[in-house]
Amino acid sequence: MEIKTAVILISLLALVNCQDRTPADVCKSDRTKVSFCNDQNNCNATAVILCFGNGLGTTIPCANSQPYCIVSDKGDSCTSTNPCSSSSSNGGATSLFQCTSVGYYPNPLNCSQYFFCSTNENKTEFVPTLYNCPNGNVFSPSTGSYCTRYNSWLNNCKTVNCQNATQNVTQKYIQISYGFNSQYYALCIAGNDPTYPLIFVCPANTVPNLNSFPAICDYRCWRTGFFENTLDNSKYFECYINNYLRYESIERTCPEGAYFNSTKSECVVKTRSFNAAVNDARRRY
Ligand SMILES: *[C@@H]1O[C@H](CO)[C@@H](O)[C@H](O)[C@H]1NC(C)=O
Ligand SMILES: *[C@@H]1O[C@H](CO)[C@@H](O)[C@H](O)[C@H]1NC(C)=O
Ligand SMILES: *[C@@H]1O[C@H](CO)[C@@H](O)[C@H](O)[C@H]1NC(C)=O
Ligand SMILES: *[C@@H]1O[C@H](CO)[C@@H](O)[C@H](O)[C@H]1NC(C)=O
Ligand SMILES: *[C@@H]1O[C@H](CO)[C@@H](O)[C@H](O)[C@H]1NC(C)=O
Ligand SMILES: *[C@@H]1O[C@H](CO)[C@@H](O)[C@H](O)[C@H]1NC(C)=O
């Protein structure tokens, strides 16, 4: 009992000395979550800040059994595994991983981790953020949480090995399948760190055609018509029947300034109303 109290006292003292953030810093009115690690650099965090209101909250030290703090978009929390130890390859993976677009991507070297790629504020580059699945879980694009229980029978831990990639296999794609989901594929790049492949993803309802280079995402057509590209709303897929009486798809791009509206199944003008565009056209002729 006495030892426990002493430990709590020491950790409280440590907190007072080292904590980098206070409720006033993080409990802003525009905050996106209710809990935050108490240090900007979560590797140094010792507690979580729980927010109750605008600028209000309390700092709760992490227990001895869960001494670390992990950042999550749902709310930061105390954790037993050190998210910053070198084995979790936090810094390493993030610096080697190259986003190819916005969205969720598996870490090709560790099936328990995944990245969310966003653009920086200037939209000049993609920025990856690394996430760890809960213990015993692996990346799974079809589940809402992007993680699912590891199952040795389903063999659902997917990694990509580029170790034997040579200069001349650069243009060879590797399919990464998650059950019925075949949207992800990888490319070993000669000259890059040969163990770190590039990962690509096709939009929903499409499959990559890996025989072409670069790979093309083919829509899984089941009727003719126009269908949305879930990764890029300025593009859409057209399904038609080819000369062999089979469905085939082609990717098309909306006119400049327009985006595809899946309800209307057509490109619509983004900023101005349709009427304004029509009046504009009338004036021109
Ligand atoms: C935070 O931790 C890093 C190592 O993870 C260390 O180099 C740095 O000095 C620490 N910063 C503070 C303010 O404690
Ligand atoms: C993979 O990631 C998990 C979760 O972060 C981590 O516990 C594990 O050590 C990592 N494995 C390797 C080989 O880096
Ligand atoms: C955004 O652009 C401005 C000026 O063009 C630059 O000063 C700033 O560093 C850029 N920010 C990022 C995150 O790249
Ligand atoms: C790479 O090549 C070596 C030697 O040819 C072989 O022993 C090893 O199994 C290969 N590794 C992979 C992942 O293919
Ligand atoms: C790779 O291809 C180039 C030409 O494209 C050829 O000159 C070279 O010998 C090839 N290297 C290997 C290891 O096959
Ligand atoms: C698509 O068009 C419908 C019908 O005009 C409209 O209600 C809906 O808001 C549009 N969707 C988007 C994402 O703009």
Give the pLDDT band (50/70/90) at residue 194: low
Mutate to test the pocket of ligand 5, among 168, 171, 172 (most ligand atoms within 8 A of CB): 168
d(CA 101, CA 117): 7
Atom number of ligand 4 nearest to Cα 163: 13
Report pLDDT digits (tens) over 195-229. Answer: 678 999 999 889 999 888 888 899 999 999 999 99
CA distances from 219 to 122, 202, 215, 241, 248 (A): 31, 9, 13, 13, 8
Residue 280 one-letter amino acid: D
Report pLDDT digits (tens) over 79-131. Answer: 887 766 544 444 456 668 889 988 899 999 999 999 999 888 777 888 888 99
d(CA 222, CA 219): 9
Mutate to test the pocket of ligand 5, among 167, 170, 213 (most ligand atoms within 8 A of CB): 167
d(CA 61, CA 49): 9
| Both structure tokens of 31 | 């905050």
d(CA 230, CA 141): 14
Report pLDDT digits (tens) over 127-185. Answer: 888 999 999 999 999 877 889 999 999 999 999 988 766 555 566 788 999 988 899 99
CA distances from 246 to 78, 162, 239, 265 (A): 55, 36, 10, 22
Ligand 6 pocket member 82 (CB < 6 A)? no
Report pLDDT digits (tens) over 19-70. Answer: 689 999 999 887 878 899 998 777 788 999 999 888 899 999 998 888 888 8
- Ligand 3 atom 9 nearest Cα: 122
- Ligand 6 atom 6 nearest Cα: 263
To the nearest whole percent, how much of the chain has pLDDT over 90?
Answer: 38
- Ligand 6 atom 10 nearest Cα: 261
Running DSSP on this structure, what letter comes out for residue 101? S
Ligand 1 pocket member 66 (CB < 6 A)? no
Q: How far is CA 42 from the centre of its chain?
A: 20
The pLDDT of residue 193:
62
Atom number of ligand 5 nearest to Cα 166: 13
Which residue is it, tokens 């084995």?
Answer: 87
Largest CA distance in the chain: 89
- Could you tell me if 137 and 149 are in contact, meaning their C-beta atoms sit under 8 angstroms apart? yes
Ligand 4 pocket member 164 (CB < 6 A)? yes
